[in-house]
Structure 1
Amino acid sequence: MTKLGHIFNELCSRTDYEQCRRPRAARFSLQSMTAMMSALGDPHLQVPAIHVAGSKGKGSVAYYLSWALQQSGKNVGLYTSPHLTDWRERVQINSEFASDDDLCVAMQAVLDVASDDATFFDLLTATAFQLFAQQQLDCMIIETGLGGRFDSTNVLQPLAAVITALELEHTDVLGDTLVEIAKEKGGVYKSNTQLWCAASIESEAKLVLHQIANSLGDELRIGPRGELTAPELPKFAASNRALAVAVLESLGGDYFVAAHLLRVAMLSDLNIPGRFELRYTSAGRAVVFDVAHSEQSLTETLRCFRAMFKDGERAVLMALRDDKDAESLGVALVEVADIDGYAESWYCCPAGSHPRSARADKIAPAFNAEVLTVVDFPEGDQPLLVTGSTYLVGALRNKTISSTDVQAIRS
């Protein structure tokens, strides 16, 4: 095992709430993170940051911001979670994995000052801050893990704090209503920071965010409703891109240049892994990967998948976490208009090896789906949508090749 592997295993020995159920948000604390940051010399304050929270779209907005700033000539750190296939996806510099040596230095520095109660996510977040400071980057884009108020990333004093679309999710941790969830997400708002939220946020939840902004002596800035449309992409993808553009434009200066580059970018330039991503099997079967896992996201993803492949039959492979309501999701997806008269073949399987994966035979009846006992593509050559779980997407994505690679092979 490499030196990096040994050090990473030390992180993995800590409590990991991605792999088990979490307590209510009120039981979390930023004490471990604050202590680590102080002991390390406050690396989180050494690089200008944009902080992104939300129920859905936060990863996409973070990627858009990072891409645009990188195209404008800045050296950019990007911290996201979870990963699809390799944990190093979470901590990137200029869209590339950091070197093993640089990661080792940053991780060891963090472990040297970490308390015994620091979690896996605490340690990896601290590693990202330490690495980005070591590399003296121009800016960093930081995505929250869960919630906002007590999220490990919430030690920042960012240039802008952005909250993307909200949905009822992780209600066992964040609360049972959109208002409660907005209070938790709104914890990322700080004074002397531009405070943004997506236009799609429900009015009562948006009022909560307004109140938080007012208490900080600032105004809440509302993102556009998505004039950067593209018919082949889900509506929320256009809204996410428009929100990222608005944030960069408002920051002005060099950030305005980045906003222009993002506004005029071709869709092919903005391919985000696992976000309505078209790839192909070695046999030429088209596979769309999307990490959508909420009712609205899944509904819109299915609508776009049907629009992309209007002619002929299609298939859908679904996995869910064990905290998802398969019954209500099944009802919602059945109600999505079948635009061309062809029905999909539906399949359910486990979400990779994740311990929180719902049993396929338990969720399959909600979708009238065939059960697959192993994580693999169902038989057939019809276009396939793989969705419902980040871990399912990650397990199967590496068995395919990109559309760019297909074009290269054919030429």
Structure 2
Amino acid sequence: MDYNSAIKKLFSLHQFGIKLGLDNISKLCEFIGNPQKELKAFHIAGSNGKGSTASFLASILMEEGYKVGLYTSPHFVKFNERIRIDGKEIDDDYIVNFVSELNSYIDQNSPTFFELTTAMAFKYFYENKVDFAVIETGLGGRLDATNIIEPLISIITTISLEHTNVLGDTIQKIAREKAGIIKKGKPVVLGIMPPEAIDSIKEIAEKIGSRVLLLKEIVDDKGEYLRIKNNPNYYNIYQTPLKGKFQLFNAALAIAAINQILILSNGINIDRGIRNVVRNSGIQGRYEIYNNNPLVIFDSAHNPEGVKSFLGEFIKDKKKYTKRILLFGVMRDKNIPEMLFLLREHFDEILITSVNYERAASIEMLQDITKQLKINSIMVKEPEEYIKKFISSNKGNEVLVVLGSMYLLGQVKKMLAKNFNGVEKILWN
């Protein structure tokens, strides 16, 4: 089996869809020796910000001198992006060997794509003797495949209405699902979220003897910067390479979580951890400047809360542009009407597209929604071709925002990195 065959085998498991529950992953991990039981892990759930918080966590720990495994999803261009140690993607050979060794098990037991990928990450981190593993949940928390770990600490970033068909149709229900990652006697740090979400999580934490730390109680918002209580001193965050005020809170959440487990050596290492987050974690798609002239921004805002965070940054500069164009594509289980309602007044032209993924909203579905909202929209069936034409037009005062699902950004990035002969070609600045 070569790399392409292994990846094809992995992706074929998408046919089994999403199976929330821990029986399959527990059986799989037992088969490979339960590597997750040996990991010192930080476990992160949340509606928004979990990938950024995980990246800040990993980066700060790396700058403190630790060997750090980072598991996130989805990937943008290459599967290997999901599993990293000290910023380096998992080796092709490891993926091939892992899938080859489990080939018969896969055929007989039909694990899902995410279950097999999660087990791979656990084994890879264990065999490479990481000091810490930073693990991001896939969907929800309580029944997510990652939830067989016993973390040092749990982190819940934000709570908003998402995946309501799976997680529940109220903030309280969704909060309880996310709170399922909290383990008996282990602390949990909560980001900025609605009071009803905090109350629901606190109730669960108290029942199992877990201490709750609220970010709002240790962070003082000074407007242009955040001041964090970093016992016995204070630490200020002025900016991060990831644009947006909300990223200051994600960085603060990472610092607060680490402080519960370790004594951070000094502010210099925290500074480096924040400053080098992109290099150390490979994070993409967070107000990412894909091209400078003309300006193309990629943002993985995939729900109304994410859109609000994006707009908080975008509206600072939107008047600079003679024309503002939105290219939008998202999963069908999101609150699409609210997302488009929030976005419409900030763009002169709205383009809708879709992605080759089973959960994606079709162009026709998006068009129906825009009609209901009385939004004029244009269908774009080949988004990467539109982006290439926009870039080549060199309209310096215009801006194109490609926003929505990470799957959309990943597909676009992959196609843009190739020319028509399939030869790698980097287009961005």
TM range (shorter): 0.7 to 0.9
Matching of residue 293 in structure 1 with residue 302 in structure 2: yes
Match of 2:378 in 1: 370
Question: Per the alignment, do residues 259 and 49 of structure 1 end up closer, same or farther by CA in structure 2, a change over 3 Å counting?
Answer: farther
Matching of residue 214 in structure 1 with residue 193 in structure 2: no
Match of 1:257 among 265, 270, 280: 265
Match of 2:244 among 234, 244, 248: 234
TM-score (norm 2): 0.82
Question: Per the alignment, do residues 266 and 88 of structure 1 end up closer, same or farther by CA in structure 2, a change over 3 Å counting?
Answer: closer
CA displacement at 1:45 relative to structure 2: 1.7
Cα separation, 1, equivalents of 2:408 and 2:113: 22
Question: Per the alignment, do residues 217 and 230 of structure 1 end up closer, same or farther by CA in structure 2, a change over 3 Å counting?
Answer: same
Amino acid at match of 1:295: P
Match of 2:143 in 1: 150
Matching of residue 394 in structure 1 with residue 377 in structure 2: no
CA RMSD after TM alignment = 2.7
* Structure 2 counterpart SS, 1:240: helix
Amino acid at match of 1:306: I
Question: Per the alignment, do residues 136 and 111 of structure 1 end up closer, same or farther by CA in structure 2, a change over 3 Å counting?
Answer: farther
Cα separation, 1, equivalents of 2:267 and 2:358: 40
Match of 2:31 in 1: 39
Contact 1:249 1:259 in 2 (8 A): no
CA displacement at 1:251 relative to structure 2: 1.3
Match of 1:280 among 283, 291, 295: 291
Cα separation, 2, equivalents of 1:141 and 1:258: 21
CA displacement at 1:238 relative to structure 2: 1.5
Matching of residue 138 in structure 1 with residue 142 in structure 2: no
* Structure 2 counterpart SS, 1:287: strand
* Structure 2 counterpart SS, 1:153: helix
Amino acid at match of 2:357: H
Question: Which string of whole-angstrom CA distances, capped at 9 and with x for unpartnered residues, describes residues 53-80 of structure 1?
Answer: 1111111111111111122222111111
Question: Which string of whole-angstrom CA distances, capped at 9 and with x for unpartnered residues, describes residues 18-67 of structure 1?
Answer: xx5x57xxxx3211211222232220022211111111111111111111
Contact 1:298 1:333 in 2 (8 A): yes
Question: Which string of whole-angstrom CA distances, capped at 9 and with x for unpartnered residues, describes residues 284-316 of structure 1?
Answer: 322111110111211221341232454122221
Cα separation, 1, equivalents of 2:215 and 2:32: 35
Cα separation, 1, equivalents of 2:251 and 2:285: 16
Matching of residue 100 in structure 1 with residue 92 in structure 2: yes
Match of 1:244 in 2: 254
Cα separation, 1, equivalents of 2:201 and 2:50: 17
Question: Per the alignment, do residues 108 and 267 of structure 1 end up closer, same or farther by CA in structure 2, a change over 3 Å counting?
Answer: same
Matching of residue 80 in structure 1 with residue 72 in structure 2: yes
Which shifted more, 224-233 or 390-399?
A: 224-233
TM-score (norm 1): 0.85
Match of 1:170 in 2: 163
Cα separation, 2, equivalents of 1:144 and 1:154: 8
**Structure 2 gaps, min length 5:** 227-236, 418-424
Cα separation, 2, equivalents of 1:353 and 1:319: 11
Match of 1:183 in 2: 176
Which shifted more, 73-82 or 376-385?
A: 376-385
Contact 1:60 1:240 in 2 (8 A): yes
Match of 1:205 among 186, 197, 208: 197
Question: Per the alignment, do residues 265 and 190 of structure 1 end up closer, same or farther by CA in structure 2, a change over 3 Å counting?
Answer: closer
Contact 1:233 1:276 in 2 (8 A): yes
Cα separation, 1, equivalents of 2:348 and 2:338: 19
**Structure 1 gaps, min length 5:** 407-411
Cα separation, 2, equivalents of 1:329 and 1:269: 28
CA displacement at 1:182 relative to structure 2: 0.9
CA displacement at 1:262 relative to structure 2: 3.2
Match of 1:49 among 17, 34, 41: 41
Cα separation, 1, equivalents of 2:266 and 2:38: 21
Number of matched residues?
A: 385
Match of 1:331 in 2: 341
Amino acid at match of 1:84: F
Question: Which string of whole-angstrom CA distances, capped at 9 and with x for unpartnered residues, describes residues 329-377 of structure 1?
Answer: 2223346xx6xxxx53221111x21232223244242443222122233
* Structure 2 counterpart SS, 1:162: strand
Cα separation, 2, equivalents of 1:90 and 1:249: 26
